Structure 1
Amino acid sequence: MLELKFNDELSEDDIVLFEITGGSLKKRSTNKAQRFEFRKLPDRDEFIMALHDFEPSLPWLVFKMTQAPIQALVSRIYQVEMILIRMCLNAVHTTINKVVKYKSKYTEIRKMTDGKKME
């Protein structure tokens, strides 16, 4: 697989950067600084992933026919998981808001009826 090292110097609030330092999928001799990046999109609750200057250890044609489709599948699975997590968090947030709203109404009704007997 790939060995990643977090790059604290180049990472920011909306960019998380990892250097690809080794692993069986990385070409051993390369002059390029290979990196893996997560970047939050401005004004959105989404991000993109990018693989920069990556050179696979496999010959290009073999990589294109084997490793590349697997990487695309893994990225797609990750995307679906993030969508599901966001949906769950939105559902929880909506439920919490409803509970707070109903509790507020209940408290208001209690204040209005305190000391009064219900007939």
Structure 2
Amino acid sequence: MNRRIFVLALGLGVAAFVAPRVALAEDHLAEAISHTKEAIDHGKQGHADVLVTHAEAALKHAEAAEKAKKNEHTKEGITHLKASITEGNKKDAKAATGHAEEALTHLEAAQK
């Protein structure tokens, strides 16, 4: 009986340690997706400066999600967010929007 209680306690301890990191990664990913959508909306309106603001916020959340839980789609999304920021800083809203849309595709795939 003592062995069962020990195994149960150990299992619950591991679950309590791992669960918050996974949940935190999902929260960051959701925030990254939200900011990326905002960046795309503003990019389509030609507001490169606002696009950059949202893309930078999305990048911070995507990097936090990647740190909490490694994922190739998140990593690719980060690459496109950085490219979006670079193009947005050049005032090229169309190119920046294209990269933001590609980032969104990867970030949404990382959620699945």
Verify same fold: TM over 0.5: no
TM-score, L = length of structure 2: 0.38
Of Structure 1 and Structure 2, the greater helix share is in: 2
Of Structure 1 and Structure 2, the greater strand share is in: 1
TM-score, L = length of structure 1: 0.36
* Higher RCO, 1 vs 2 (CA within 8 Å, ≥6 residues apart): 2
